[in-house]
């Protein structure tokens, strides 16, 4: 199916949930959906529903008969989106699933390819402001951090399973935390006194490693919590598997847009796109191409797209977002 360009429409991303709190504000909403270019009659996949902001915009722009398959590994996100997207009726199909399993879900629904796929990675504001989920180092809660609560291992389990060396490696690799060694040592000492079970308990252990002055721009626990969350949810593994599958699932001319929030994720997206966009891989000394390889995609974003100052004023949580998009050849 060819992809037609649709006209850009005005969007109003802010919405309040039933508690009157501001819901997750979709990041790079206009930019991401413009790059997806949804059209009527198309089939679109949102692999990270969250609060459904991007999903709703895709539905609006693919009216009257575009279809959206929405996935989230968090059952609560799916339930909340069912209510928000109910007005779109049979055009919406929502499932609790990891996007790395998108091919199976789509096939169960009778689709073997899609016109567009979106991933908006990481956690939603709902996760961060719900203490029981254990994602926030500012709110007291169990040290959980599982997006899919059927996963067997919580952040507390992980901390108690890893040796000091393994924890330091994890904090260095997934959190790019310069004080990884010192934090791992402090955690080891604390574990010897008793189990670490809550978010604030861990945040205080981490803070004890940092001098109080000069004051820091970000909370000392930021990078450690990020690293644990990435590990608990196997976020990088899911992205590697998922993005390859989604590229396969795109129809010719179909588009993919991915929003990342840290350099490890962005690197995976960038490298996957560069590899898929590459044609012949024969050594330059060969006079003729022997590999026959053709580019699989065209990258639509020469550089990653970042939020404009206006969006950052409204939503500082968008500060590290980067968007990349590609079109299947």
Ligand X SMILES: C[S@@+](CC[C@H](N)C(=O)[O-])C[C@H]1O[C@@H](n2cnc3c(N)ncnc32)[C@H](O)[C@@H]1O
Q: Which residues bind ligand X (CB under 6 A)?
A: 24, 26, 47-48, 50-54, 71-74, 77, 98-100, 120-124, 147, 238
Least distance in angstroms from the C-beta of 238 to ligand X: 4
Least distance in angstroms from the C-beta of 327 to ligand X: 21
The residue assigned the tokens 């404009």 is 308
236 or 299: CB nearest ligand X? 236
Least distance in angstroms from the C-beta of 120 to ligand X: 4
55 or 159: CB nearest ligand X? 55
Long-range Cβ contact pairs of 144-148 (< 8 A, separation 24 or more): 145/225, 145/228, 145/229, 145/232, 145/233, 146/232, 146/233, 147/72, 147/73, 147/74, 147/123, 147/233, 148/73, 148/74, 148/75, 148/96, 148/98, 148/233
Hey, what are 92's tokens? 């919406």
Least distance in angstroms from the C-beta of 177 to ligand X: 21
Least distance in angstroms from the C-beta of 49 to ligand X: 6
Give the CB-nearest residue to ligand X.
50
Question: Angle of helix 164-175 relative to helix 180-193, nearest 10 degrees?
Answer: 140
Least distance in angstroms from the C-beta of 76 to ligand X: 9
Least distance in angstroms from the C-beta of 297 to ligand X: 21
Which helix H or strand E contains 45, and what residues bound it?
Answer: strand 43-46
96 or 298: CB nearest ligand X? 96
37 or 183: CB nearest ligand X? 37
Dist. CA 107–CA 129, nearest whole Å: 35
94 or 206: CB nearest ligand X? 94
Least distance in angstroms from the C-beta of 24 to ligand X: 4
CB 36 within 8 A of CB 29: no
Residue 81, class by beta-carbon neighbours within 10 Å (0-12 exposed, 13-18 middle, 19+ buried)?
Answer: buried
Least distance in angstroms from the C-beta of 146 to ligand X: 10
98 or 226: CB nearest ligand X? 98
CB 137 within 8 A of CB 229: no
DSSP conformational letter for 149: T
98 or 272: CB nearest ligand X? 98
Question: Concatenated DSSP letters for 95-140?
Answer: EE--GGGHHHHHHHTT-S-EEEEEEE-S--HHHHT-GGG---SSS-
86 or 288: CB nearest ligand X? 86
Dist. CA 156–CA 137, nearest whole Å: 13
72 or 245: CB nearest ligand X? 72
SS (H, E, C) 166-216: HHHHHHHHHHCCCCHHHHHHHHHHHHHHCCCCEHHHHHHHHHCCCCCCCCC
């Amino acid at each position: 199916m060819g992809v037609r360009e649709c006209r850009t429409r005005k969007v109003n991303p802010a919405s309040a949930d039933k508690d009157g709190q501001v819901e997750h504000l979709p990041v790079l909403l206009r930019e991401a959906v413009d790059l997806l270019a949804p059209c009527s009659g198309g089939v679109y996949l949102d692999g990270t529903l969250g609060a459904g902001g991007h999903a709703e915009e895709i539905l609006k722009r693919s009216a009257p008969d575009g279809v959206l398959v929405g996935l989230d590994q968090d059952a609560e996100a799916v339930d909340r989106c069912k209510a928000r997207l109910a007005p779109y009726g049979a055009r919406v199909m929502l499932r609790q699933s990891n996007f790395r399993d998108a091919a199976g879900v789509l096939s169960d629904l009778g689709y073997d390819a899609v016109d567009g796929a979106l991933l908006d990675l990481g956690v939603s504001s709902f996760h961060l402001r719900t203490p029981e989920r254990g994602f926030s180092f500012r709110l007291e809660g169990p040290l959980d951090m599982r997006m899919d609560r059927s996963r067997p291992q919580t952040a507390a389990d992980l901390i108690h399973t890893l040796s000091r060396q393994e924890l330091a490696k994890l904090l260095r690799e997934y959190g790019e935390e310069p004080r990884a060694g010192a934090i791992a040592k402090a955690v080891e000492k604390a574990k010897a006194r008793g189990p670490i079970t809550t978010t604030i308990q861990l945040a205080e252990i981490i803070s004890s490693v940092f001098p109080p002055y000069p004051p820091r721009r970000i909370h000392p626990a930021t990078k450690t919590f990020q690293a644990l969350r990435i590990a608990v949810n196997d976020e990088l593994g899911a992205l590697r598997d998922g993005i390859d599958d989604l590229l396969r699932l795109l129809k010719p001319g179909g588009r993919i847009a991915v929003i990342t929030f840290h350099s490890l994720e962005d690197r995976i997206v960038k490298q996957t796109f560069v590899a898929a966009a590459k044609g012949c891989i024969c050594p330059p000394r060969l006079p003729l191409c022997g590999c026959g390889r053709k580019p699989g995609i065209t990258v639509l974003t020469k550089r990653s797209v970042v939020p404009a100052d206006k969006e950052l004023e409204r939503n500082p949580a968008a500060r590290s977002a980067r968007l990349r998009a590609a079109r299947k050849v």
